[in-house]
Chain A
Amino acid sequence: MNDDTPVQKPPTGVITPADFTTFMRNYQDMVFSTATRLTGNEAQAEDISQEVFLKAYEHFDMLSSSPTAGGWLKTVATNLSLNHLSRYRNRWKFFSEFRRDDAAGDTDVPDVDFAAPDTFFSGVDADERRAWVEEALEKLPEHQRVPLVLYHFEDLPYEDIAKKLGVSLAKVKTDILRARTALAAIIARSGARHETLSA
Chain B
Amino acid sequence: MKHSPEDLEKFIHQTLRALPARRAPHSLESRVRAAIEARAALPWWKQSFANWPLAARVAFFIGSAGVAKVALMAAVWVLAGFDSTLFTNAFSTQVSWFEGAAAAVDGIGNFCSMLFRNIPPLWLYGGLAFVAVMYAALFGLGAAAYRALYSHR
A residues bordering B, Cβ < 8 Å?
Answer: 1-2, 17, 20-21, 24-25, 28-33, 36-37, 42, 46, 49-50, 53-54, 57, 92, 94-96, 98, 109, 111-114, 116-117, 120, 126, 129-130, 133-134, 137, 148, 152-153, 177, 180-181, 183-184, 187
Contact = CB atoms under 8 A, between A and B. Distances in A.
Given A50-B35, A95-B146, A113 B21 contact: no
B3 interface: yes
The winner among B2, B9, B11, B33 for most chain A CB atoms within 10 A is B11
Given A29-B23, A111-B2, A153 B32 contact: no
A96 B146 contact: yes
Given A54-B36, A184-B11, A1 B31 contact: no
18 contacts: A1-B20, A21-B33, A28-B24, A28-B29, A29-B23, A37-B22, A46-B24, A54-B36, A95-B142, A95-B147, A111-B3, A117-B14, A117-B15, A129-B18, A133-B15, A133-B16, A152-B12, A152-B13
Contacts of B20: 1, 126, 130
A165 B74 CA distance: 48
A36 B146 contact: no
A177 B1 CA distance: 18
Contacts, number: 109
B138 interface: no
Interface string B118-150: 000000000000000000000000110011001
Interface of B: 1-3, 5, 8-25, 27-29, 31-33, 35-36, 39, 142-143, 146-147, 150-151
A144 B137 CA distance: 33
A1 B8 contact: no
A120 B12 CA distance: 12
A2 B35 contact: no
Contacts of A96: 146, 151
Nearest to B13: A152
Nearest to B14: A117
Contacts of B21: 1-2, 29-30, 32-33
Contacts of B19: 130, 133-134
B24 A153 contact: no
A94 B147 CA distance: 11
A21 B151 contact: no
Contacts of A53: 28, 32
Contacts of B35: 50, 54
A112 B25 contact: no
Nearest to B23: A29
Contact of B32 (A54, A111, A117, A120): A54
A183 B13 CA distance: 11
Nearest to B39: A54
Nearest to A127: B20
Nearest to B27: A46
A57 B31 contact: no
Given A133-B19, A134-B22, A32 B32 contact: no
Contacts of B151: 95-96
